[in-house]
Amino acid sequence: MSKVKIAVCGGGIAGLCLAGALLRLDKTGDYVQVDVYEASAMFTEVGAGLTLWGRVCEALYTLELAQDCIDASVIVNSTSEKHSTNGFTLRDYRPPHTPYGKLPFQSKDKKKSYKQTSFLPSLLLLPDAWSLHRKDLQKILLRRVPSKYTHLAKRVTKYEQINSSGPIILHFPDGTTGECDVLIGADGIRSAIRAQVMREAAELARTKPELDDTTPYHRHILPRYSGTICYRALVNPTELALRDPNHPMLRSAQAHVVGYPISETVLNIAVNITPKGVPYCSPDSPLSPGSNTLVDRSREINRETFKREVRPKFKDWEGEVGDLLDSVDASIEWPIMDVEPLPFYSRGRVVLIGDAAHATVPYLGAGAAFAIEDALLLSRLLYRAATMISELPSHPPRIQILQQSLKIFEEIRLPYGNKVVENGRKVLRDFQLTGPSGTNVEQAVLSIIETFKDSTRVVGGCGPNADIQRAIKLLDLRCCC
């Protein structure tokens, strides 16, 4: 029996993690053939810092990636007081005398008086939260995927399947094609695979009215603009220390600033601005991608542009914020978007993972974590399916097993993914004081606490290893009888 051919469309965190996990499981290469197709001419990661916490730490240990991530991270937890490097103390964003494990919020009212409140988000600080640069995580993942398994400058523009039991044909812009048994859509928030899957679902619903399916599939094709622009930048802590080494995480109505260390020599900051009156925009909104260049793509801006376009919006803020922003050398202007919660992740032998499935706004620190969890579960299901197939003589069961493995992945991961998208939206509104709590800081913070607790229940659950056990049990039950 031939090996199961798995095509991973996208070489981001989700795609590389999945490919590396499959290759590590199939050390002899007897069961799966893995090919990663990346649109760019070289592997690049958009963004700066990320935080890994909660369930994903367990997943990284299972993937045998935890120590590499720890070595590349700044660890923030509820017991360690500080991390020092080169004589500079990286603070964990607490005002003096604030108990450890509490994350401060500071706001400024119209009278320029200040009010401080804090809370204990155990999902962030208990257990440890690992903060690191995206490029460092990508390097770790790339070490697990030798170059012979990767194909650069190969954007999958579409796929087709001539018959249900035959291979899936992949099409590339250069006119070449490829084929696979299973297609993994890991091509990010603007996923071409998701777009085709949703268009096909819409067409099926249109031609077969007996399905009585009124799901607006077109709303899931394009990402949705959140109304917020984020300026991501990396700051040299030594330069910041010359101005003010003790900066907290600050926020105020219509804008907020977040900062945390991602290495011993780099601070990651995110400056978030929501123009007044700009709501969440659906894919068919006038502000959606494709109809307004402002929100269509990110752009790099230099120090002078940052000072001219961004810095004036914070002229009345505290000196701590001014010192932080004055330390920015260059940044990326990044329209914050997410994807409308999906009705499904898999269709036949095509499945979506990572941002292609559940892109969320970056307010729960869950985007990269969920991509890694997707990769862990799907790798175990596909490897188990491949070993089962190797023992079967006929072709039809091969197709059924592969489809069933993807459907089980969807059953387990879809509730997680959609919930984190919804909760991310709630936290964004509360951060910007534009949610149901309005400008009431105390109520907004309480709302954030409840949303984080809800995410803890969703993200925490029974753990990724328990999910794997459940998934394999379901696959064996459905395919071995």
| Topology at the third CATH level for domain 74-131+224-338 | D-Amino Acid Oxidase; Chain A, domain 2 (3.30.9)
Tokens of 22: 């499959």
Handedness of CA 344, 347, 353, 359 (dihedral sign): negative
What is the reported pLDDT for 115? 37
Identify the DSSP state of 281. B
Helix (DSSP H) and strand (DSSP E) numbers for the chain: 14, 22
Phi, psi of 406, deg, nearest 5: -70, -35
The partner residues of 300 in beta bridges, in order of sequence, read: 332
Tokens of 158: 């579409």
Print pLDDT tens along the chain (481 aa): 589 999 999 999 999 999 999 999 999 999 999 999 999 988 876 566 788 877 888 899 999 999 999 888 876 554 443 332 322 222 232 233 333 333 343 443 433 333 333 333 333 333 457 888 888 999 999 999 999 999 999 999 999 988 888 899 999 999 999 999 999 999 999 999 999 999 999 888 877 765 555 567 888 888 888 877 777 776 665 665 566 555 443 333 356 777 766 666 677 778 877 766 555 554 444 444 444 444 456 788 888 998 888 888 888 777 777 888 888 888 888 888 899 999 999 999 999 999 999 999 888 778 899 999 999 999 999 999 999 998 876 656 889 999 999 999 999 999 989 998 999 988 888 877 777 877 777 788 788 878 877 776 655 457 899 999 999 999 999 987 5
What is the reported pLDDT for 46? 59
CB-CB contact of 368 with 245 (8 Å): no
Q: At what angle do helices 13-25 and 367-389 cross, to 10 degrees?
A: 30
What is the reported pLDDT for 111? 37
The partner residues of 252 in beta bridges, in order of sequence, read: 255
User: What is the C-alpha separation between 158 and 170, in angstroms, rounded?
Assistant: 6
Within 13 Å, how many C-alpha atoms sit on residue 227's CB side?
A: 17
Tokens of 363: 């307010």
Which part of the chain is CATH 3.50.50.60? Answer: 4-51+137-222+342-479
What is the reported pLDDT for 157? 95
**Rg of the chain over CA atoms, in angstroms?**
23
What is the reported pLDDT for 32? 97
The partner residues of 184 in beta bridges, in order of sequence, read: 8, 351
Look-up of token digits 């360690």 = 80
What is the reported pLDDT for 255? 66
Containing 260, the helix (H) or strand (E) segment is: strand 255-261
The three-state secondary structure class of 84 is strand
Tokens of 62: 């299972």
Q: What is the secondary structure of 284-315 as a DSSP string? A: TSTTSTTT-GGGTS-EEEEHHHHHHHTGGGGT
The three-state secondary structure class of 1 is coil
Q: Which CATH class is domain 4-51+137-222+342-479?
A: alpha beta
Which part of the chain is CATH 3.30.9? Answer: 74-131+224-338
